[in-house]
Amino acid sequence: MNLNSRIILRDSILLILGIILGVLTINQYQATQQVIALTSRDTTVSLVRQLHLIVSANRDLKNEISNLTESLTEIQTGRNAREVARKAIERYRLLAGEENIEGKGINLSLDLALQPIWLVDLVNELYIRGAEKIALNGILLTDHSSFALSEGVPYLNANLILNTPYTLQVIGDQTTLMQGLTKRGGILDRLKEQFPGSEDKFSLEAKDLVQLPSKQIKSS
Amino acid sequence: MPNSIKHFVLFLLGISIAILGSAVVAVSPLARPTLGPAEPYQELTASLSELQTEKTVLEDQVASLRRQLKVAETDALIARSELQKLHNLEEEVGLTAKKGAGVIIALEDVPGGALSTEVPEEVCHAANLRDIINLLRLAGAEAISINEQRILLSSTTICIDNGILINNTKSLSPFIIKAIGDPDTLRDFLTTKSYLPQIQQRKDQGSLKFEINTSADLVITEFKGQLTTKEVRLAKTK
């Protein structure tokens, strides 16, 4: 091999080496971005998902308008005022957590020492995915429920110690709950990413009957 | 040209080719067949905007009907005790506006402020808002709203491209959070640094405005959305 050939060969090797390093740099950057996205508490939802959420919300609002109009007509015509009031009271007692309730839903169990922020995020995600009522470790969550960490111990409602495994019993649309929770990049994936080696610490199950206590009663 | 410089230039050239190649692949129609054109994006954005407008109209209708129903119930021949029970429950589930003392919090990005290295560049406050709501509940808040959206347990905060969906309604910074409760207790919890570490850190770095003011006379709007009870029912066995 003459001198010129050697120089060309050496230069080519350098060029290829540069290309390889450049590709590796780009891959590393992309991988880092993916890790940031996965470990972040929030992922930005797509426009299509936003559309789906708002269409669904508007459909529910139209149903509510229809129900309210019907109730109003019944009361104004004096036909069934007491029955309308009784039904409304019953519904609001369910919503306020003043009754033991039941329905289709899911059970989600996490044998992980999660910080309260993750419980806050989980509850948010469950409602996004169609939850109607949620209990954590047998305690019904209400509009006043809170999570806290004090000296390393997680608390619910400031005075109930939360022990692992955390069991979330959820009444709501089974299909959307199961699909939403198990989807790629969803909250369970983010938790698994956050807690490496925790794949077997999660248990998710659709249930035909989930029974939740009223807000005053601790069932377990 | 000395050989060492020539080699260095070749090496840099190699890296440049790789980066350029990756960039070309990333933006090429072959790589992203569905994301290239701006037209579908604009159509989707326009549809979203229309749906949001429709949602606001529907929510106002719901709120108006609930008010009419309340008046009709009062006028109807319903026992006073039943009526009181009904109105108490409506308040309990967030269907009536609430008045009282409390705090007003302003949460807003500071343009040009230094971002924490722990916070992704595309800042989204959805998690921050959830943490504040949780802390307010811990501090005993009786009612909470964000940008005039009443917050219930079932309220959701979802990160979107340039804002947050709160109760599925698009909301933009600044986020004005109102909470009714003991103003001093609420303020003490909010200003305790260990409770909201990320927010406090960003505030200290000057990249986030987090202001708390107390008020003796707050009004928090009623929940205007749908309270879903499709699956939930009274337990058969008590």
Mean pLDDT over residues A194-213, rounded? 92
Query: What type of residue is A17?
Result: L
Q: Which of A95, A129, A154 is the last residue of a domain?
A: A95
Q: Write the pLDDT tens digit of every residue in A191-201.
A: 888 888 888 89
Asked if A50 and B231 come within 8 Å (Cβ–Cβ), the reply is: no
Q: Do the bridges between strand A166-172 and strand A131-136 make them parallel or antiparallel, or are there none, so unpaired?
A: antiparallel
Q: What pLDDT sits at residue B38?
A: 65
Residue of B nearest to A76 (CA): B72
Q: Write the pLDDT tens digit of every residue in A165-195.
A: 999 999 999 999 999 999 888 889 888 888 8
- Residues A152, A167, single domain; the answer is yes
- Residues A53, A110, single domain; the answer is no
Q: Which of A69, A95, A121 is the last residue of a domain?
A: A95
- Residues A171, A208, single domain; the answer is yes
A217 located within any domain: no
Residues of B in contact with A118 (CB under 8 A): none
Q: What would the two tokens of residue B184 be?
A: 């001093």
Q: Which of A70, A95, A120 is the last residue of a domain?
A: A95
- What mean pLDDT is reported for chain A? 87
Residues of B in contact with A170 (CB under 8 A): none
Q: What pLDDT sits at residue A198?
A: 86
If 0-12 CB within 10 Å is exposed, 13-18 middle and 19+ buried, where does residue B167 land? Answer: buried
Nearest beta carbon to residue A171 from set B16, B51, B231: B231
Helix then strand count (H, E) for chain A reads 6, 8
Query: Greatest CA separation found in chain A?
Result: 108
Q: What would the two tokens of residue B49 be?
A: 């905007």
The answer to whether B155 and B166 are in contact (CB under 8 A) is yes
The Cα–Cα gap between B180 and B219 comes to 8
Asked if B19 and A58 come within 8 Å (Cβ–Cβ), the reply is: no
The size of chain B, in residues, is: 238
Q: What is the CATH number of the domain that holds A153?
A: 3.30.70.1880
* Residue among B63, B195, B48, B222 at smallest CA distance from B131: B195
Mean pLDDT over residues A67-76, rounded? 88
Other C-beta atoms lying within 10 Å of the C-beta of residue B133: 22
Residue A150: which domain range?
A: 101-212
Q: Report residue B93: phi and psi, to 5°.
A: -90, 5
- Residues A164, A208, single domain; the answer is yes
Percent of chain A with pLDDT over 70: 91
* Residue among A50, A177, A105 at smallest CA distance from B50: A50
Q: Which of A79-93, A149-163, B108-122, B202-216 has the lowest mean pLDDT?
A: B108-122
The Cα–Cα gap between B130 and B175 comes to 12
A219 located within any domain: no
CA B89 to chain centre: 26
The answer to whether B78 and A82 are in contact (CB under 8 A) is yes
The Cα–Cα gap between A42 and B120 comes to 10
Q: Which of A19, A93, A129 to mutate to test the interface with B (most CBs of B within 10 A)?
A: A19
Q: What would the two tokens of residue A118 be?
A: 């993750």
Nearest beta carbon to residue B45 from set A47, A75, A144: A47
The helix (run of H) or strand (run of E) holding residue A213 is none
Q: Write the pLDDT tens digit of every residue in A110-145.
A: 999 888 999 999 999 999 999 999 999 999 999 999
Mean pLDDT over residues B20-48, rounded? 68
Q: How far is A200 from chain B (nearest CA, A)?
A: 26
The Cα–Cα gap between A112 and B223 comes to 34
- What mean pLDDT is reported for chain B? 85
Nearest beta carbon to residue A128 from set B77, B124, B156: B156
Asked if A172 and B51 come within 8 Å (Cβ–Cβ), the reply is: no
The Cα–Cα gap between B227 and A106 comes to 20
- Residues A37, A89, single domain; the answer is yes
Residues of B in contact with A47 (CB under 8 A): 41, 44-45, 48, 161
The answer to whether A31 and B136 are in contact (CB under 8 A) is no
Percent of chain B with pLDDT over 90: 49
Three-class SS state of B100: strand
- Residues A115, A208, single domain; the answer is yes
Three-class SS state of B45: helix
- Residues A106, A40, single domain; the answer is no
CB-based contacts of B146: which residues, under 8 Å, 6+ apart? B129, B133, B166, B171, B175, B176, B177, B178
Q: Is a pLDDT exceeding 90 seen at residue A219?
A: no
Mean pLDDT over residues B157-162, rounded? 87
Domains and CATH numbers, chain B: 94-236 (3.30.70.1880)
Of A136 and A43, more confident: A136
Percent of chain A with pLDDT over 90: 51
Of A30 and A34, more confident: A30
